[in-house]
Amino acid sequence: MNIFSLAYDYRNFFLSGLQYTLLLAVLGVFFGFVLGIAVALLRMSKLRVLRFIATAWVEFLRGTPMLVQLFLIHYGLASFGVEFSAVQSGAITLSINSSAYLAEIFRAGIQGVDRGQVEAARSLGMRQAMTMRHIVLPQALKSVLPAIGNEFITIIKESSIVSFIGVADLMFQSRAVTTITYDGFTPLIVVAVMYFVLTFTMSKLLGRLERRLNTDDRR
C-alpha cells in the first residue's frame, strides 16, 4: 500500500497515538523537571545521608534500562498491591527516568553560577534558601535550558517503550494498523516520519530559543 494513502486512511490511528506520545513526553519532562531540581539540591546537600539517597537515585535510574523500570512500576509494584494504569505507569517511568538526567543538568548549572554572586547575596543578608531561589536557580535554569529541551526530544523518542504495556501511543497504533493491513513495513515508516517531524521541529525551535538567549545576554 502507498505510504501516503495508508497514512490518510488510518490517520485517526496515528493522530490518536500522537496525542498519547506528546502527553507522556510533556508529563515526563514536567514532573522530571520538578523532581530533577529536588534531586540536584539533595545531591549538593551538606547532609551525607541526603547526598547518598540522591546519588543512589541518579545512578540507579541512569544505570538501568528504562524498559526494566517500566516493568518494575507497572508489573512489579502490582505484586505488592500498588497498581497503576498503563498511562500512569508510563508517565511515572518517564518522569523518574528524566529526573535522573535533569538532576545532573541542574547540578552542573547551579555549580556554574559565579560564587561571587552568592557571596554578595549573603553579604546583603539573604538567607541560603532565598539566595538559591532568587539568584542561583534563575541563572542556572537559563544556562541549562537548551539541555532541558534536548531531554524533551529524548523523552519523545523513548516514550515508544510504553507500547509494551498497552498504551496506545504511536508505536502501539502502528502495530494496530499492521494487524489490519498485514503490512509490517509501511506503518512503521509513517510513525518514523512522525517522530522525525516532532524531534526536528523541536530541535529547530530550541536552536532559535538558544540564539535568542545568547543575543539577550550580549545586550
> What percentage of the chain exceeds 70 in pLDDT?
96
Tell me the three cell numbers of residue 181.
493491513
CATH of the domain at 60: 1.10.3720.10
pLDDT digits (tens, 9 = 90+) for 134-167: 778 788 887 788 888 888 999 999 999 999 999 9
Task: Please name the amino acid found at residue 95.
Answer: S
pLDDT digits (tens, 9 = 90+) for 42-80: 998 889 999 999 999 999 999 999 999 999 999 999 999
Using a 10 angstrom Cβ sphere, with 0-12 exposed, 13-18 middle and 19 or more buried, the burial of residue 3 is middle
Domain range for residue 19?
3-218
pLDDT at residue 218, rounded to an integer = 57
Domains identified in the chain, total number:
1
d(CA 17, CA 39): 32
Contact 107, 58 (CB under 8 A): no
pLDDT at residue 164, rounded to an integer = 94
Between 211 and 84, name the one with better pLDDT: 84
d(CA 146, CA 134): 21
Residue (of 179, 206, 161, 201) closest to 71 by Cα position: 161
pLDDT at residue 13, rounded to an integer = 95
H or E element at residue 189: helix 186-218
